[in-house]
Amino acid sequence: MTFGKANILRRTYRHVRRYRQILSVIIRYGFGDILDRVPLGKSLEARVRAVSGKPIEGLERLTRAERIRLAMEELGPTFIKLGQILSTRPDLVPVDLVEELAGLQDNVPPFPFSQVRNIVEKELGRPLEEVYLRFDEAPLAAASIGQVHRAALRGGEEVIVKIQRPGIEEMVTADLEILHHLAVLLERHTEEGAFYRPARIVEEFARTMEREMDYRTEAGQGERFARIFRGNETLHVPRMYRGESSKRVLTMEYVQGIKASRVDLLDAGGYDRKIIARRGADLLLEQIFHFGFFHGDPHPGNLTVLPGNVICYLDFGMMGSVDRRSREDMADMAYAIVKRDEAKAAAVLLQLVEWEEEPDRRALERDLSELMDLYVDRPLREIRMGALLEQLLRLISRHRLRLPWERYLMVKALATTEGLGRILDPDFDMTARVAPYIRRLKMDRLRPGRIAGEIGESMGDLVLLLREIPADIREILKQLRQGRTRIGFEHRGLEDLLFEMDRSSNRISFALVASAIIIGSSLIIQAGVGPRIFGVSALGLFGFLLAAVLGVWLLIAVLRSGKL
pLDDT at 52: 55
User: From CA 227, how far away is CA 287, in angstroms rounded?
Assistant: 12
Half-sphere exposure of 322 (CA within 13 A, CB side): 30
- CA dist 268 and 266 (Å) reads 5
Better-predicted residue by pLDDT, 247 or 378: 247
pLDDT in tens, 197-225: 778 778 878 887 888 889 999 999 999 99
DSSP string over 358-424: ---HHHHHHHHHHHHHHHTTS-GGG--HHHHHHHHHHHHHHTTEE--HHHHHHHHHHHHHHHHHHHH
109-164+214-254, CATH topology level: Phosphorylase Kinase; domain 1 (3.30.200)
pLDDT at 90 over 80: no
Contact 315, 283 (CB under 8 A): no
Cβ-proximal residues to 428 (8 Å cutoff; 6+ apart), any chain: 274, 277, 278, 281, 418, 421, 422
Instruction: Give residue 254's pLDDT.
Output: 95
Residue 358 vs residue 114, higher pLDDT: 114
Q: Which residue has the higher pLDDT, 223 or 457?
A: 223
Secondary structure string (H, E, C) spanning 265-329: HHHHCCCCHHHHHHHHHHHHHHHHHHHCEEECCCCHHHEEEECCCEEEECCCCCEEECCHHHHHH
Alpha-carbon distance 311 to 278, whole Å?
A: 11
Contact 246, 215 (CB under 8 A): yes
Q: Which residue would you say has higher pLDDT here, 563 or 89?
A: 89
Give me the phi and psi of 261, to 5 degrees please: -90, -5
User: How large is the average pLDDT for residues 346-366?
Assistant: 87
Within a 10 A sphere around the Cβ of 162, how many other Cβ atoms? Answer: 23
Instruction: Give how far Cα 118 sits from Cα of 121, 249, 440, 540, Å.
Output: 5, 11, 53, 89
Return mean pLDDT, the chain: 81
Burial label for 513, CB within 10 Å (0-12, 13-18, 19+), is middle
**364 vs 371: CA distance, rounded Å:** 11
Specify whether 429 is catalytic. Answer: no
Helix (H) or strand (E) holding 189: helix 168-189
Identify whether the C-beta of residue 80 lies closer than 8 Å to the C-beta of residue 144: yes
Is residue 230 scored above 60 in pLDDT? yes
Amino acid at 22: I
Q: Which residue has the higher pLDDT, 484 or 164?
A: 164
Which residue in 91, 297, 329, 429 is the catalytic one?
Answer: 297
Q: Say whether pLDDT at 270 is over 90.
A: yes
Chain segment 34-77, per-residue pLDDT in tens: 766 666 655 455 555 555 556 666 777 888 888 888 888 888 88
Q: How far apart are CA 175 and CA 163, in angstroms?
A: 21
pLDDT at 481 over 50: yes
CB 300 within 8 A of CB 260: yes
The least confident of 48-57, 306-315, 529-538 is: 48-57
pLDDT band at 127; cut points 50, 70, 90: very high
Threshold 0.85, pTM exceeds: no
CB 148 within 8 A of CB 141: yes
Task: With H, G, I as helix, E, B as strand and everything else as coil, classify residue 69.
Answer: helix
pLDDT score recorded for residue 6: 45
Q: Are 113 and 137 in contact (CB under 8 A)?
A: yes
Q: What's the pLDDT band for 171 if we cut at 50, 70, 90? A: confident
The residue count for the chain: 564
